[in-house]
Amino acid sequence: MIKGVGMDLVELERIRELLSDRFIERILSEKEMKEYQNLAHEQVKLEFIGGRFAAKEAIFKAVAVGPGNTNYKDFSVLHEPSGKPYVESTFFTDKEHVCVSITHTDSYAAAFVVIESKE
């Protein structure tokens, strides 16, 4: 059964304007930060941050909480070896499954999240 759906779209230019060490540290979990630091090109880094920001905003919408009730770092958006993104978090129970899709262009990053009950 679907428990929540969330979608977010961000302008990468807006993210570029906000981009600072403080912003990055506020958004990325420790695991995401390691992946981010291994990226070589500035545009790829911008798309990475934009995609993670959009995914976490979509999660907040799907669970109907705002960033004031939880923390961006409470969620890690990681990749399986195949490249498929997944969400890691103690926020969700073992009875919930989170599906996430992220896409981006040169100008935008978007994410779609579906939270399902395994019961």
| Catalytic positions, written as ranges | 61, 104
CA nearest neighbour of 96 among 81, 86, 82, 105:
86
Token reading at 35:
């992946």
The maximal CA–CA distance of the chain, rounded, in angstroms, is 43
3-state helix, strand, coil in the chain (%, to 5): 40, 30, 30
